[in-house]
Amino acid sequence: IQRIAVLTSGGDAPGMNAALRAVVLAADHYNIEVIAFRHGYQGLLDNEHVVLEPKDVLHVLQYSGTIIKSARCKLFKEDAAAITAAQNLDALSIDALIVIGGDGSLRGADHLANHWSGQVIGMPGTIDNDLYGTDTTIGYATAVNIAMDALDKIRDTADAMDRVFIVEVMGRYAGFIGLRSAMAAGAERMILPELQKDKPLTVSALVKHIHRVKEIRGEGSYVMVLSEHQWPGGAVALAEQLDAEYDLPCRPCLLGHIQRGGPPAPADRILASELGVHAVELILRGAHRVMAGMRANQCVEVPLNESWEKKNPLTENLLRIQHEIFNPVKKKQRNK
Ligand code: F6P
């Protein structure tokens, strides 16, 4: 192995820079040259590449975003695009490609592997944590921290004014950020895709719950975490409805892309560093069409297609605790 390539693709995730740094430093350690394609798969199609040397990546792990840029590239789904990419990789004598991204990006990597003979390795880079075969993905810990921090701040003002708040978090179609941030911040309610799928919450059931909590706790706030795409019109529409139709003073707060910025959490920097080295070492061991993952603190390799075809379930115990134990219910009088 003399020369490998790397790209970051899809929604950027905090820790992608740490992952790049680890790939470049590990490759340098094994005397391998690294070429980076800028702007994800689009750069691979446009042949937009640069050489990455250790000096380029030494002090980037404390920043979110990605120094080699990222992009979404719908075109890459087509066979013709993968064939062009394969030709570009061959023209540069690339032995292996590392793709850092979420499910769409790893699906793209698998698609490329159908048309290219070099080794293809994926790395899980997404705040959504929705990739199978790794306990967590790079960026997820930071997003949960940011959501928790925002929820804590919202609590201050919600408590002061006895208000209901709906904080909308990202996660695409997975409730990982919603569940963990709700628990970390002690939210009264969470509306997550996994819960909505089985038993969609109605507005009347929600209003009943808000009244019950207020009745049991007396004055105070009610803070709810809403995963994106889980309510028609999102947090804004739901807040308006609660305010206008049910006389519940309610405010929406959309966290949006701030969940992808700021200093990456230590867990993401460390996970990215470990997986970056693991990805290079997988290449040296001849691995192909796998994602470098981390399970129970062990570096693992997961068939690339499984990473996006299979689903990681939410932690049952966290769901139970957040739902049943931390939810106030009217209790029978205790026997004296
Ligand atoms: O996949 C990461 C993510 O941040 C999702 O949580 C969100 O649904 C999506 O990307 C937003 O995409 P974009 O940055 O293209 O608006």
Ligand 1 center from residue 172 Cα (angstroms): 7
How does residue 82 score in pLDDT terms, banded at 50, 70 and 90? Answer: very high
Using the predicted structure, report yes or no on whether residue 332 has a pLDDT greater than 70: no
Nearest to 174 by CA among 128, 105, 124, 230: 128
User: CA–CA separation, 11 vs 102, rounded Å?
Assistant: 8
More confident residue, 252 or 334: 252
Ligand 1 atom with least separation from CA of 171:
6
As for the ipTM of the complex, it is: 0.99
Q: What are phi and psi of 143, to 5 degrees?
A: -60, -40
Mean pLDDT, residues 137-159: 98
Residue with the smallest CA separation from ligand 1 atom 4 is 11
Q: Is 128 a catalytic residue?
A: yes
Instruction: For residues 238 and 231, give the distance between their C-alpha atoms in angstroms, rounded to a whole number.
Output: 7
* Rg of the Cα atoms in the chain: 22
Rounded Cα distance, 314 and 194, in Å: 8
Whether residue 24 is predicted with pLDDT greater than 60 in this model: the reply is yes
Which residues does ligand 1 sit against, CB inside 6 Å? 11, 72, 102, 126-128, 170-172, 228, 260
Q: CA-to-CA distance for 56 and 54, rounded, in angstroms?
A: 5
Q: pLDDT for 92-122, tens place per residue?
A: 999 999 999 999 999 999 999 999 999 999 9
pLDDT at 176: 98
pLDDT average, residue stretch 62-78: 98
Query: For residue 330, is pLDDT > 70?
Result: no
HSE, side-chain direction, 13 A CA sphere, residue 107: 17
Q: How confident is the model at residue 333 (pLDDT cuts 50, 70, 90)?
A: low
Instruction: Please give the mean pLDDT across all residues of the chain.
Output: 96
Q: Ligand 1: distance of its center to the CA of 16 in Å?
A: 15
- Quote the pLDDT of residue 297: 97
DSSP code of residue 325: I
Average pLDDT over residues 51-55: 98
Which residue in this structure is represented by tokens 């970390």? 184
Closest CA to 17 of 3, 36, 32, 2: 36
Q: Which of 127, 144, 258 to mutate to test the pocket of ligand 1 (most atoms within 8 A of CB)?
A: 127
3 state SS of 309: helix
Average pLDDT over residues 187-191: 96
